[in-house]
Amino acid sequence: MSAIASQLSPDADLDWWRGGVIYQVYPRSFQDTSGDGIGDLNGITERLPYIASLGVDAIWISPFFTSPMRDFGYDVSDYRDVDPMFGTLADFDRLVAAAHRLGLRIMIDLVLSHSSDQHCWFQESRSSRTNAKADWYVWADAKPDGTPPNNWLSIFGGTAWHWDPRRMQYFLHNFLTTQPDLNFHSAEVQDALLDVARFWLDRGVDGFRLDVINFYFADRHLRDNPPLPPEKRNAQIAPAVNPYNYQEHLHSKNQPENLVFLKRFRDLLDEYPGTAAVGEVGDAQYGMELLGQYTRKGQGVQMCYAFDFLSGSGLTARRVTEVFRHMEAAAPEGWACWALSNHDVTRHVSRWNLDEQGARCYATLLQCLRGSVCLYQGEELGLTEARVAYEDLRDPYGIEFWPEYVGRDGCRTPMVWEASNVNGGFSTARPWLPTAAEHLGRAVGLQEARDDALLHHYRRIIALRNGSPALRQGAQTDMQAEGDLLHFVRELDGERWFCAFNLGSETASLHPPDGIWAFMPGVGGTDPGRVLGGGGMRLGPWHYTLLKSM
């Protein structure tokens, strides 16, 4: 165990992740200290006191590894170094040490399913069919007519196969053509990737966010995917205009061999007590089932998140109950990490057209649900999806499908720290993406000065969750949807909460369960002082109440 890793308190909770709150930082857009318009590791270190002030347990940092940046860091060319635009390994070490002094854990984003085509592994693999790394990537011969070996599609559009004239074969890429898929059927590949994880664990990281965890293995026999009936298609993983939604991806991902590799990954984590991993499950049809498989106790990662609350469909009371009932049936022992926004989807305030009260309601709901929580930078400010002109787009996904789908740049614009300049305190130079003018009025500096600001609401509800074993790790029972009204009970070791949320635009009537309940002031919500007949109460549109059993 490294000296950096040991700086956290020795009596720290080894199961901190269970019910923990994780704050996602997209480093390109968080804070620039070098003056090049791109955020960096030193910028994160500079802003650590702000993150700690939120009360979160950990920070998830999106990729900062050496990369040609075709997919902004999710195409890694060196897993063991920092890209110069973000800083150095020494900068990273200082970041980890500073975070640990503040009681924050650091989780880094490991992209294991694929690398950059500039990675030395791929450069060697493509050089011949007989070199030492010839089978480190997924290669296949063309069909007799020269077409790709099967019908698999790329999430970024078109076929998932790209012809390489050196090997006279196709290689698999589930994403960009510059992101070739590694061959996890090779034991050497697995060993090399586990060594990468060990490298960062020895440097002091407290865990990982595992990108597209269900994409690691492809079918050995490269069988065609069957078509997906139109009534089963949804746009959770890819935009509706993408033909990727037309297939049931039975063979290009979600393979059973993944469970064996995840057990090896878990065994490695267990060598470093207190570390944890959260896996991103990228599947629109089987996400919850995979979550259950991948988070089995001691057999896989500690937690996973699917896209149930990240999709474009409204998060209604009925939808929440359906998700949890599905989880109870498909993953009764699984552990979810819930998120409303991240770097890949439209910010939820815009996605669901929320006003200030709606944003408070959903933020509170997220902190009351059973599971862990991921917050995305700027979510605590109520940032909307930024409008980015076509000429300013950087995301290859958006450029490919524009204007029907404008890509992910709108949720990746710079963090706004102050309203005194056009760059929001992010950089002294022109940012890599324009700072959204509409965000300046929600800058951190302005909200710090207002006790009623959304930023302070996030702090209060996170503090409430942290101070309540029942809300953090307790059971969740009696979840019901009555029209737009959602309510449920959280309880643990005699502590019991009744949580109710009106997720609609009309006033709703509510009758708490029998018992003596005390309203918890300080986190907003409706005080049930207006008693109706039989001890009931009313919740206005987008209002909520949190009652604790006495």
CATH number of 474-549: 2.60.40.1180
CA 123 to chain centre: 30
Altogether, the residues listed in the chain come to a count of 550
For residue 21, what are the β-bridge partners?
A: 373
CATH number of 5-117+183-465: 3.20.20.80
Q: So what's the pLDDT on residue 11? A: 55
Backbone angles phi, psi at 511, to 5 degrees: -125, 105
Question: Cβ(280)–Cβ(304) under 8 Å?
Answer: yes
Give the whole-angstrom CA distance, residue 164 versus residue 139: 9
> What string of pLDDT tens digits covers the 550 residues of the chain?
344 444 555 457 899 999 999 999 999 999 999 999 999 999 999 999 999 999 999 999 999 999 999 999 999 999 999 999 999 999 999 999 999 999 999 999 999 999 999 999 999 999 999 999 999 999 999 999 999 999 999 999 999 999 999 999 999 999 999 999 999 999 999 999 999 999 999 999 999 999 999 999 999 999 999 999 988 887 666 778 889 999 999 999 999 999 999 999 999 999 999 999 999 998 988 999 999 999 999 999 999 987 899 987 789 999 999 999 999 999 999 999 999 999 999 999 999 999 999 999 999 999 999 999 999 999 999 999 999 999 999 999 899 999 988 999 999 999 999 998 899 999 999 999 999 999 999 999 999 999 999 999 999 999 999 999 999 999 999 999 999 999 999 999 999 999 999 999 999 999 899 888 999 888 989 987 644 445 678 999 999 999 999 9
pTM attached to this predicted model: 0.96
211 is catalytic: yes
Residue of 231, 235, 328, 344 whose CA lies nearest to 284? 235
Question: Cβ(22)–Cβ(337) under 8 Å?
Answer: yes
For residue 142, count CB atoms less than 10 angstroms from its CB and return exposed for 0-12, middle for 13-18, buried for 19 or more. middle
Q: Dump the DSSP string for 50-117.
A: HHHHTT-SEEEEPP-EE---TTTTSS-SEEEEE-TTT--HHHHHHHHHHHHHTT-EEEEEE--SB--T
SS3 307: coil
109 is catalytic: no
Q: So what's the pLDDT on residue 9? A: 55
Domain ranges of the chain: 5-117+183-465, 474-549
Give the whole-angstrom CA distance, residue 484 versus residue 486: 7
Contacts of 423 (CB under 8 A, 6+ apart): 414, 429, 430, 431, 435
Rounded to a whole number, what is the distance in angstroms from the first to the last CA of the chain?
45
Q: So what's the pLDDT on residue 320? A: 97
Q: Which position among 57, 91, 211, 308 bears the catalytic label?
A: 211
Q: Which position among 13, 15, 271, 438 bears the catalytic label?
A: 271
Q: So what's the pLDDT on residue 10? A: 46
Type of residue found at 4:
I
- How much is the CA Rg of the chain, to the nearest whole Å? 23
